Chain A
């Protein structure tokens, strides 16, 4: 539950914030996000001017360049009622790092206001619980991988699981799986490719050992990294963003 909210939210005008990586490589997550929000009665908008929030540059140490993209983001989204994104790490960028990036003047004020309106999808959806009955069904066993920025930076720990437990037929498997990084780390996976794969393989093995049919999570970047590793170790396990399970 997000501070300041209680109970079910009234229908809102929601601006979708679709990170470039989701947009380019996992558009199904974006579609699912839109569908869920619309079925819950929200008015969903997508501003085609949006591109990248600047996280890739910021994490690589290019702060000035990242600031330019942060400024764009603030300009595009500052009027929104609510901004919802199916990515923990990009939301964390906006919420935690935009204030360190050197925005000045009006942009800085706009950014401060905007921060409280940006939600990771599960944060936003958990304000809509309970879902109408028969919202969707997914008759499979699923293990949840908490991606680091969602889990640690945003502190979103139980929301995706609360949402998934509303889905008919789903079996959530945990087997006391320890919380561990998938090894993606953005530019890290390019700079230290082998190491990044080693970490991913360890994670993939742990996930596979749960015996679940599907791995789910809230960041397509991490899920993509895990998927690649599952294939490398020859696992039949499948990977899916939780939004697609919710959308049915």
Chain B
């Protein structure tokens, strides 16, 4: 059994996890459906959003250049990181230059992707997660299980237990009280941090803005309080100009949490000396396999993703097992593809596209209408095949290439199905039944009228 199968089965036997995941996913999907239904121009907006993303990916290098020019003209610095090591190296170097040792980090899947947390820890740098969900998983010593709701796999009670034990206050599972306790703890840290690190949802080429959406307001602490701010994001997050943000922002929160708009939407530019804000601002644009995906006609479409998480929430597989079962930073339908694009894809990530029923709910719900099932099938085609499945496939092909062999095989399979106590393994072909032919008796399991 593969590590993924083991993780899937483990998740299935963890019923508190199962119900927490199912509840959160359904809640988000239902709220998403409600607020999407309010938009009478949803399909039109969706088309625009896709065009904005398509334009960005089709013109990515020039948008990156333009953004770099504008961001740097405003006093910031843009770095390009080829891969994970490169990206972590740049962060560590920037911190070293300022002798920064204590910081706050927030909301960045790219930071997870490049293993920044470990790199900082290794260098003895203390970076606390400021996003409540990420703070919870950081305290628990586990990775996020969802791209926008990192602690989605935990019930209110388990969060209550964890926080009260770690932060030393009497147990409660009241979300408002828990948030207050965590905030009290975090705020102290915000005020003494020497650096802030955060992700970005978009960067705007023509204006040189970074865009960050969030609900807690802790993310903006990262670029308002400390003297040094580092934004770390994927090269694909470009948009052309400010008006392009309109369809993106209209759809992002709606698709993600079912909110009409996130509580905080920040447009960030470097500050000039004397202005309020960090004196030093950097952006690290991470490639880590993205340029290669853009050059790959069959996977390029994945780069249009805005990481809203809607495809996770609606996925029958994700809903049943949660994110950790995918054994990858990016879980769910989008994750099965992303995991084979960024970093160094492994034999394990190659298996992820199989962890799907190909039901197509992801494509339906995606605000950018990304054809996820098509790419899952593409990756299934590319995956190196094992000896057993290859010979099964060859046998299937051989059998199905001849009507005579097919009929004989059908008879054998049906006989085997009748002999085995539970029918054929894995399938439902358990009973008898006869081959449909002119001479076959009309036989089925459920007579219409008895």
Give A residues with C-beta under 8 Å from B: 18, 20-31, 46, 48-52, 54, 56-63, 65, 68-69, 72, 97, 138, 148-149, 152-153, 179-181, 183-196, 198-199, 202, 214, 224-225, 227-228, 238-240, 244-245, 247-248
> How far, in whole Å, are A58 and B8 apart by their CA atoms in the complex?
24
Residues of B within 8 A of A65 (CB): 393-394, 396-397
The 10 closest A-B pairs by CB, nearest first: A28-B444, A185-B357, A190-B426, A61-B380, A181-B359, A30-B436, A27-B436, A148-B359, A152-B360, A224-B428
Whether the Cβ atoms of B8 and A195 lie closer than 8 Å is yes
Q: A28-B442, A59-B380, A185-B358 are in contact. Are A152 and B400 (CB under 8 A)?
A: no
Whether the Cβ atoms of A51 and B406 lie closer than 8 Å is yes
> How far, in whole Å, are A237 and B156 apart by their CA atoms in the complex?
36
Whether the Cβ atoms of A57 and B320 lie closer than 8 Å is no
Whether the Cβ atoms of A188 and B357 lie closer than 8 Å is yes
Nearest-neighbour CB distance to chain B for A204, whole angstroms, equals 13
Residues of A within 8 A of B413 (CB): 24
Whether the Cβ atoms of B433 and A26 lie closer than 8 Å is yes
Residues of A within 8 A of B275 (CB): none
Residues of A within 8 A of B401 (CB): 51, 68-69, 72
Residues of A within 8 A of B139 (CB): none
Whether the Cβ atoms of A27 and B440 lie closer than 8 Å is yes
Residues of A within 8 A of B5 (CB): 191-192
> How far, in whole Å, are A72 and B434 apart by their CA atoms in the complex?
24
Residues of A within 8 A of B359 (CB): 148, 152, 180-181, 185
> How far, in whole Å, are A51 and B406 apart by their CA atoms in the complex?
7
Q: A27-B443, A48-B403 are in contact. Are A57 and B358 (CB under 8 A)?
A: no
- Can you report 11 residue pairs joining A to B where beta carbons are below 8 Å apart? A26-B444, A28-B445, A52-B400, A59-B380, A65-B396, A148-B361, A179-B361, A180-B361, A186-B358, A192-B5, A239-B446
> How far, in whole Å, are A61 and B353 apart by their CA atoms in the complex?
10
Residues of A within 8 A of B438 (CB): 46
Q: A52-B400, A190-B426 are in contact. Are A27 and B435 (CB under 8 A)?
A: yes
> How far, in whole Å, are A194 and B359 apart by their CA atoms in the complex?
17
A61 touches which one: B383, B402, B430, B433 (CB < 8 A)? B383
Give B residues with C-beta under 8 Å from A: 5, 8-9, 12, 316-317, 320-321, 354-361, 363-364, 377, 379-383, 385, 389-390, 393-394, 396-397, 399-403, 406, 410, 413-414, 425-431, 433-438, 440, 442-446, 448-449
Residue of A nearest to B406 (CB): A51
Whether the Cβ atoms of A18 and B400 lie closer than 8 Å is no
Residues of A within 8 A of B317 (CB): 192, 195, 199
Residues of B within 8 A of A153 (CB): 360
Whether the Cβ atoms of A23 and B400 lie closer than 8 Å is no
B396 touches which one: A21, A52, A179, A196 (CB < 8 A)? A52
Whether the Cβ atoms of A240 and B394 lie closer than 8 Å is no
Residue of B nearest to A61 (CB): B380
